[in-house]
A = this chain, B = another copy of it.
Amino acid sequence: MEATPGTDMSDLSIASRAVIRPISEIARLAGIPDMAVESYGRYKAKVDPSLLTARKDRPGKVILVSGMSPTPAGEGKSTMVVGLGDALTAAGSKTMIALREPSVGPSFGMKGGATGGGYSQVLPMDEINLHFTGDFHAITSANNLLMALVDNHLQQGNSLGIDPQRITFKRVTDMNDRALRHVVIGLGSVTDGVPRETGFEITAASEVMAVFCLATGLADLRARLGRMTIGYSYAKAPVTVDDLGAAGAMALLLKDAIKPNLVQTIGGTPAFIHGGPFANIAHGCNSAIATNTARALADVVVTEAGFGTDLGAEKFMDIKARYAGCAPDTVVIVATVRALKMHGGVTKDELGKENVAAVRDGLPNLARHVSNIKKFGVQPVIGINQFTLDTKAELAVVTQWAQAHGVECAVADVWGQGGQGAGDLASAVLRTIEEPSNYAELYELQLPVEEKISTLVREMYGAAGVEYSAKAKRVLEQIHANGWDQLPVCIAKTQYSFSDDPTLLGDPGGFTLQVRELIPKTGAGFIVAITGTLTTMPGLPKVPAAMHMDVDGNGNAVGLS
């Protein structure tokens, strides 16, 4: 959720006063036949993609929204997706947007929701930020059913010979709960399970979430679930979900969740919000099914990949587009004067003061994001998300730089004006997607894993090299031995820096990336490389956002942001 520039109106209060139309109207607007729509309340629906036949031969163009490296100043990427979508609708394009579902855990911690802000929000904001249509819960259930079956297998004789010390899969909860990072389970008596050390991850970081978001249909979902590796046998052979016979029951728990969720923006643009992996510790894009269903309905689809081009956008192209064939026709890089100033060395307290030099000093960060996108053969567009205190001179630094480097660039005020504030950006995007792109992934799958990683970190992060921990080296051997070399890589890295050190802003370059852990996700279909001190289970802050949340006397939400 965005900061609130120069006004005391909260996102929740703007959202609750916005005009919202029945979801059946939005479905008709999107060209979805009634029989494919299942309402969940008045303003949400699940859409069955198998009941859509129209125009699968001529899919809509994909506008991917990414950003520069985020800072505590906020960059407003989801807000830009919504504002740009509404601007494209206003410009007469048949448009849909596709976003990730918010995770409940972070909403009750620090972050707030993920439904845009101001006059660029998706509605109904409160319902989307709470349980929505239950997809995260279904994913949590499927994951934890699997783990109950794994531990029950140990308890009931362990016929597969699973080594309890080598179970890599974990239980999940959609909650920021640091006390569950490292746990010992199976204590008590002989009927209370086999004792072993394990931990919980947040649902958004789980492989089931990744599988959910990369699957192209229910059959593919079931097959990917079955290919997930839960650990290793005493003979050190991988044990899969199919070995346990659990893929069917897991798919059953996901059969409705896998249908994309239809909602609307404040401007009335139909929106799919579906699936929500984090972009630092996972691949960071909404479901492939939602993106492809939107492309079957609309001429242009505006979608988001989490954090900067080094994280979400790279993974969108090297993982999601590779599996699901939805390569972007352009990438909008969201930049803010405030973020540029922070990359240029200004502290958060000093952001209110004009500082043209600092904006200029922050440009190397933006420049690397621009060049990252070009490396995929895709032409980027810079979208400056304007804040109230930005000065003309500061904005001019960015637009002049863009012009000098031959990159389309437009200023947008999406928070305050919604789609009306993004007319120039919409024009720049439409000009750009008229040209065919020369899209190609960054690396070939047949390269060894180490080479894929070194290519990626050199080209995207500007790293000089990679160092593997002893543990990671052992897993590399395992990867070769098990024939998993052909998988793409998914690097888990801080979003704040191109490096693995969150304090190195701008475009640090020349650093050595530390790969602490490698985790083969054989169902999702990628090898996760964990760098730095990243955790797959966030904690709560000293005063969690939950402390300010409540319901009023009419049953309405209070304190969601």
Chain A interface residues (CB < 8 Å from chain B): 38-42, 46, 50, 104, 108, 127, 130-131, 134, 137-138, 140-141, 144-145, 147-149, 151-152, 154-157, 171, 173-188, 191-194, 197, 218-219, 222, 245-246, 248-249, 251-253, 255-257, 539-540, 542, 544, 546-547, 549-551, 553, 555, 557-560
Contact = CB atoms under 8 A, between A and B. Distances in A.
A111 to B, nearest CB: 15
As for how many copies of this chain the complex holds, the number is: 2
Given A137-B131, A145-B546, A558-B252, A551 B222 contact: yes
Given A104-B253, A179-B192, 12 more contacts: A39-B41, A41-B46, A131-B253, A137-B137, A152-B544, A154-B179, A155-B179, A184-B187, A252-B549, A252-B550, A252-B560, A255-B551
B178 A182 contact: no
A553 B178 contact: no
Q: Which 9 A-B pairs have the closest CB atoms?
A: A179-B193, A248-B550, A137-B137, A182-B188, A249-B546, A151-B179, A182-B187, A148-B177, A249-B549
A542 B188 CA distance: 20
Nearest to A132: B134
B248 A549 contact: yes
Contact of A249 (B42, B173, B248, B547): B547
Contacts of A246: 546-547
A109 to B, nearest CB: 9
A547 B245 contact: yes
B248 A544 contact: no
A5 to B, nearest CB: 27
B42 A41 contact: no
Given A183-B187, A253-B130, A151 B177 contact: yes
A179 B185 contact: yes
Nearest to A556: B255
A441 to B, nearest CB: 31
Contacts of A194: 179
Contacts of A219: 553
Contacts of A151: 177-179
Contact of A252 (B50, B130, B184, B249): B130
B252 A557 contact: yes
A480 to B, nearest CB: 30
Given A141-B104, A245-B547, A539-B155, A192 B177 contact: no
Nearest to A186: B179
Contacts of A104: 141, 253
Residue among A152, A155, A188 with the highest chain B CB neighbour number at 10 A: A152
